[in-house]
Amino acid sequence: MPSAAPTILYIHGFNSSPASGKARQLLGAMRGLGLEERLLVPELHHHPRQAIAQLEAAIAELRSPLLVGSSLGGYYATFLAERHGLKALLVNPAVAPHRLLLGDYLGPQTNLYTGEVWQLTEDHVTALAELEVPPPRSPERYRVWLQTGDETLDYRLAEAYYRDCTLQIQAGGDHAFQGFAERIPELLVFAGFAPGRWRDFNFSDL
């Protein structure tokens, strides 16, 4: 793959997988446009340290991908974007999830898509805390999409943390982010793809 070829690394969220709605829509779009080889959507390990190792390997394979992170994936994407100087598009991203997961979340967890049962421990929380970084130093490298109806995360935390970045805040919606498929063209332009490639492609069918 030429070094200048745009690529995308999609990073799913907590207890999620490549079978999630947004991941499937993005995969469908890239497949339909003949760009499937430019996208990686790894199934991440539940432990942050192993997940980051997987993502580092994916970045090395794709060279300089646009990081697209959803929820906890947005937290991972921010850490990696700051480490590697990459661009990132974040969808309802988690801010300081190690604080959220202390307390009621510790204990048995079940992945919503794979059915895997695992234990969320204090070591998971410690590993997440190790990934916390200050607000982006180069905010022009970020796009942040928030919906105020997010029932899982308070969008105002992300609004404050990413305040210097390009923020797009929609009223309503939910944590899954309604209308994601129709916004994939915007994502592709940010990644560096030429808009003419999808002139006749119907993203609303994804």
Q: What is the pLDDT of residues 134-163, one digit of tens each?
A: 999 999 999 999 999 999 999 999 999 999
Q: What does the buried/exposed string (b/e) look like for 132-155 if buried means 16 or more CB atoms within 10 Å of the residue's CB?
A: eeeebeeeebbbbbbbeebeebeb
pLDDT tens, position by position, 172-192: 999 999 999 999 999 999 999
pTM: 0.96
* Domains of the chain, start order: 8-205 (3.40.50.1820)
